[in-house]
């Protein structure tokens, strides 16, 4: 089956705007069940569950340049709202970025560490 149909280990570099200027962060693609869980949490009607949905998704996706977790749930809960909103927008658009092959690089630690030209190159 075509490997481009599946979530990869690609990492996606993006920038967010902060009061002190742009900051680079890395995101990883999440499995579909993470998005399904997020959607269910947002529709739950329970204000506590809804309030935790975005920080949980952010904590799952934000990583360092090597793909290692760089933010836990508690840290994600303490993000400023404007920062959290920006990160969520980037997470939700990962599918579009992955298809375009922009801003990604292989998560493989044995790689060159340079951005790949497309996700399909890294998957080979």
Work out the pLDDT band at 122, boundaries 50, 70, 90: very low
Instruction: Convert the pLDDT of each residue in 86-100 to its tens digit.
Output: 999 999 998 554 444
Task: Give the ranges where 19-80 is alpha helix by DSSP (H).
Answer: 32-42, 47-61, 73-77
The percent of residues in the chain predicted with pLDDT above 70, rounded, is: 76
Q: Across the chain, what does the average pLDDT equal?
A: 81
Flag whether pLDDT at 61 surpasses 90.
yes
pTM of structure = 0.74
User: 62: burial class by Cβ within 10 Å (0-12, 13-18, 19+)?
Assistant: buried
Can you count the helices (H) and strands (E) in the chain? 6, 4
Walk me through the domains of the chain, giving residue ranges and CATH numbers: 8-108 (3.30.2220.20)
């Amino acid at each position: 089956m075509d490997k481009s149909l599946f979530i990869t280990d690609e990492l996606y570099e993006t920038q967010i705007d902060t009061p002190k200027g742009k900051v680079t962060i890395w995101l990883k693609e999440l499995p579909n069940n993470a998005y399904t869980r997020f959607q269910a949490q947002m529709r739950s009607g329970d204000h506590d569950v809804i309030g935790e949905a975005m920080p949980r998704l952010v904590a799952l996706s934000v990583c360092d340049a090597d793909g290692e977790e760089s933010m836990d749930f508690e840290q994600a809960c303490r993000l400023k709202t404007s920062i959290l909103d920006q990160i969520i927008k980037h997470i939700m658009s990962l599918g579009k970025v992955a298809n375009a092959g922009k801003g990604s690089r292989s998560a493989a630690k044995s790689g060159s560490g340079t951005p790949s030209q497309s996700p399909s190159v890294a998957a080979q």
